Structure 1
Amino acid sequence: ACSAAALAYPDTVYDMVRMGVAQYGFWPSPDIYYMHMQAGEAKGNGSLKRLFTWKTDVMDVRDVDAGEFIGYGTAYQATQDMKVAVLPLGYSNGYPRGQSNRGFVLIKGKKAPIVGLINMNLFMVDISHISNVEVGDEVVLVGRQQNNTINISSFTQLTQLLNNEMLSRLPSAIPRKIVK
């Protein structure tokens, strides 16, 4: 049985279960989650706990004048003077290009909107509203920082990806660290 079968159809488990996305605390699909909720198990110990955080750091901080374009092409034009942070990852690292001009990251606990196209190995975020951002500051791509959260669902809703599709697209070259 896979994650979905193990959670929704326990009579299919037999001798072994190959847990996939559920081992990270994500529902395999909305249907499995709704089945879980209808079964009344949401109040008990049957709920899944998210165990995944994805972080990077600020690679550069740049001032952008009103009227300048950010990133490749003309996908984003600054309407006012701005400050942007350059982040050292892109679609080659599994970050969905569909988040261009739509997604957010967390810096210093505040949401910073993505500006311009997500490139192969970098993208930019507007930090005009966040004070004292410096090279090396932590950036949360998925997870919690102070009182804000970026969920996997923010990727899957905008880009039509499944939870397991989003999580499995992250290349093995990305360093992993187990935090207890």
Structure 2
Amino acid sequence: MLTFKSQVVYLKDVPSGTPLGYGAAFYTRRPSRIATVPVGYADGLSRGLSNRGRAIINEQYARIVGNISMDLTLLDVTDIPGVAVGDEVILIGRSEQCAITALEIAQQLSTVPYEVLCSIGKRVPRTYVG
């Protein structure tokens, strides 16, 4: 079982109508709480997931908002209570109640799961268990 995870490094409350990400590819539709995660396309998180992918935080799904940048991804955590800097963010893997699989991501990107997994970059630390 593979888990690709990171953590929240910054939280910001923004008003409705705030542009997010490079090229202002997303505008908030309501007052929102946005989490910044230090993972981007240089780490293997495809830009194709911009504005349509998701991650798991505190046993709930958070939507990716804005364009995924080279080193950062923004998540809308408005409806997830208690999110704090340092909280674990699962990009591929399972929590007790939620899962995001390589197959799910591959289907969103019209590719195969192996491409998703092989795209995870060298900057991402690996821990082998078992």
TM-score range, shorter chain: over 0.9
Query: 1:168 Cα shift?
Result: 1.1
Distance 1:166 1:119 in 2: 17
User: Is contact 1:96–1:155 with CA below 8 Å preserved after alignment?
Assistant: no
Distance 1:112 1:173 in 2: 24
Query: 1:161 Cα shift?
Result: 2.2
Bigger radius of gyration? 1
User: Is contact 1:85–1:124 with CA below 8 Å preserved after alignment?
Assistant: yes
Distance 1:85 1:167 in 2: 24
| Alignment partner of 1:67 is 2:11 | no
Aligned length: 130
What secondary structure is seen at the aligned counterpart in 1 of 2:22? coil
Give the corresponding residue for 2:33.
83
Give the corresponding residue for 2:126.
176
More strand by share: 2
- Please report the TM-score for the alignment, with normalisation by the length of structure 2: 0.95
Which structure 1 segments of 5+ residues have no match? 1-50
Distance 1:132 1:57 in 2: 14
What secondary structure is seen at the aligned counterpart in 2 of 1:73? helix
Distance 2:76 2:96 in 1: 19
Distance 1:60 1:74 in 2: 19
What secondary structure is seen at the aligned counterpart in 2 of 1:112? strand
Distance 1:68 1:82 in 2: 9
- Please report the TM-score for the alignment, with normalisation by the length of structure 1: 0.70
User: Is contact 2:42–2:70 with CA below 8 Å preserved after alignment?
Assistant: yes
* Higher RCO (Cα < 8 Å, 6 or more apart): 2
Query: 1:169 Cα shift?
Result: 1.4
Give the corresponding residue for 1:132.
82
Query: 1:96 Cα shift?
Result: 0.6
Percent identical = 36
Q: What one-letter code is carried by the residue in structure 1 that aligns with 2:69?
A: N
More helix by share: 1
Query: 1:72 Cα shift?
Result: 1.3
- Structure 1 stretch 154-163 or stretch 106-115: which is displaced more? 154-163
Large movers: runs of 4+ above 4 Å? none
Query: 1:172 Cα shift?
Result: 2.1
What secondary structure is seen at the aligned counterpart in 1 of 2:103? helix
Alignment of 1:24-39 (within 5 A): none
Distance 2:101 2:113 in 1: 10
Distance 2:111 2:42 in 1: 16
What secondary structure is seen at the aligned counterpart in 2 of 1:111? strand
| Alignment partner of 1:95 is 2:45 | yes
Query: 1:123 Cα shift?
Result: 1.0
Superposed CA RMSD = 1.0
